[in-house]
Chain A
Amino acid sequence: MDSLETMDEKQIRFVCHECDALQMVPAVEPGHDANCIRCKSRLFRNPRGGIDKPLAFLIASMFMFVIANVMPIMTLTIVGVKLRTTITGAAYIFYQQGSPELAAIVWLPSVFIPGVIILSLFYVLFSIRFQMNWRYTKPILVLTGRLLPWGMMDVFMLGILVSIVKLVGLADVVIGTGFYAFAFLVVLYASTIASLETHTLWECLTEQQGSPMEPTNG
């Protein structure tokens, strides 16, 4: 009980997102995690490499995202007819076939949402890293958090692999540049997310923009 009242400069008051346990969390060394005293869930991490590391991975992801979405993922040859498309192209054919809702279900989590996440993260990380104090940093960070579960490029990658195996029986399959770029993109994107800690971003933002820590009553 008393530990909750003591104010220590290096400790922060934290509420576990999973079990609501109120606790004082001491400073975390880079590369280590802070875990909940009650349910043992991870409260937050202090990733090595600060903001530079995710920003570097993110910039690489941006380039790879463009290549992966502009270049064809594979070329099929069925009795002399050559077919080749990008992911968006495949979704567009789905749309033309008369299933716009399915086209959206395929295209949104594999192209659109990851694209928006990458761009918004760039805005947020760039603004924090270079202390730009850009106006929309906070709402965009909130938006990114909401979108994160709906980006499914990793699942889509496995989907590409399964379709290649299925298509080999129907056609001659030649893997395209887009496929390799997409594979790299999945790794780079996962590395960005893994080296990023939302808690750190919010702490940095508070420090830079200085916001009232207590809500205004009534």
Chain B
Amino acid sequence: MASNVVSAMSRGIAGCHTCGLAVQMPDNTEVECPRCGAEVHYRKHDSINRAWAFLIAAFIMYIPANTEPMMRTTSLGNTSADTIMGGVIYFLSHGDWPLALVIFAASVMLPLLKMIAIAYILILTQRASSERRIERTNLYKIAEILGKWSMLDIFVVGLMAGLVQLGALTTIAPGPACIAFAGVVILTMFAEMAFDPKLIWDKME
């Protein structure tokens, strides 16, 4: 069954990336989708290079995101700055391990695992490897779904800084890690969107 599966590209057909319509392509030129009006192409343009560019930028941002403070709390003249790991350790030392686990998973592990997953998929795709294609496709889909949960800590800082302000003795201000962290999340999302999972299945001979 699976052996006589043909790719749409080999039959001169492209699935519209926007609405999914199977479009008969005139030749190698790009056409407008007759159904939704978006540009139809066989594969996303320059997919692997663009994905790498976003991914490398995300890797670089991941360093300040973890070493710089995420939040500065000023209470009665005393200022304390917390990195992400600092927050995790704070909750652990207060016995609040479920919360420590949630923050550690969403902010430290998830972005790192997503970047490693995309890098792994990109490397195997560049080698035109035929190994574990279904697993790689699934890995891509999981990375796509879970990525946004890394925004958690930025939302927490945003809410806390916004709430604890007006004339209070305690003030909370965002640290430089916030913007770096948002950068990691947004850039990994761009990397994942730039990559075309159909490339996993192309035989590049």
Contacts and interface: CB of A to CB of B under 8 A. Distances in A.
B5 A21 contact: yes
Interface stretch (B56-64, B112-120, B172-180): B172-180
Contacts of A23: 5
Interface in A148-196: 149, 152, 155-156, 158-160, 162-163, 165-167, 170-171
Interface string A124-162: 000000000000001101100100010010011011101
A218 to B, nearest CB: 7
B109 interface: no
Interface centre among A81, A105, A145 (most CB of B within 10 A): A105
Interface stretch (A49-57, A60-68, A82-90): A82-90
Contacts, number: 222
Interface residues of B, number: 75
A17 B151 contact: no
Contacts of A37: 1-2, 5
A127 B32 CA distance: 24
- Nearest first, the 7 A-B pairs at minimum CB distance are A90-B162, A15-B15, A159-B155, A106-B158, A20-B198, A22-B8, A15-B8
Interface of B: 1-2, 4-9, 11, 13-15, 17-26, 31-38, 40, 75, 96, 99, 102-103, 106, 133-134, 137, 140-141, 144, 148-149, 151-152, 154-156, 158-170, 173-174, 178-179, 182, 189, 193, 197-198, 200-202
5 contacts: A20-B198, A90-B162, A97-B161, A202-B19, A211-B34
